[in-house]
Structure formats: C-alpha cells, structure tokens
Structure 1
C-alpha cells in the first residue's frame, strides 16, 4: 500500500502511538523512539518493512 499516511492526514500523533503499540503487541517487536519518523510512517509498506526488519533481530 502506497497511500501517504502522514501527507494525507490519515494518521495523527495519537494514531502513531496507537499503531506502534499495536505493532509491538501483535508482532512481539520493539519499535524504538528513533524509528518513529516520516520515513517509517510514510505508508503501510514502510511500516511493514519496519516490522519485518525488527522480526529479524
């Protein structure tokens, strides 16, 4: 999915926190504060890549 999450206002700061908590709980990964950026939250594909990279750790 390439819909720009931040640019189109589909996601705000509270939704980012909710999303991080969901991903951490659902996949058992740790998303560091430094990972919460426009790079990783630009679209669903970028979020999936972030989670995938954490699963490899």
Structure 2
C-alpha cells in the first residue's frame, strides 16, 4: 500500500463505502487515487467518472 502524505489523505484515499461499490456513486468518497499514474483527483459527483487532478494535498498542503 502506498504511503500518502498525511493521515487525512490516507483516510480519504482508502475510504470504502458499505453501500456503494463504485466510488464515483458514493457522495462520501471525495478523493480518487490512480496507482498506475500515481495521480490524485477530486471526484466530481455528476453521475459520471470525472475527477479534477490535484497537485497538492487539500489537508496538509504537501506536493503530491
């Protein structure tokens, strides 16, 4: 498992909803992490699978 920049980021990246299997359908899942590209993104909950790639952690400010 990848070590993330802070506990908050690790919590949100590893969050698993008990109701929704698809992270893009869960309103509580806000961060998507792509292991292949090593990218972090803010999930846009508009019914699709869109994300806004982020370069800095929203909680601690570290460069991702």
TM-score by length of 1: 0.29
Over alpha carbons, which structure has the higher Rg?
2
Ranked by relative contact order (alpha carbons within 8 Å, sequence separation 6 or more), the top structure is 1
Higher helix share: 1
> Which one has a larger percent strand, Structure 1 or Structure 2?
2
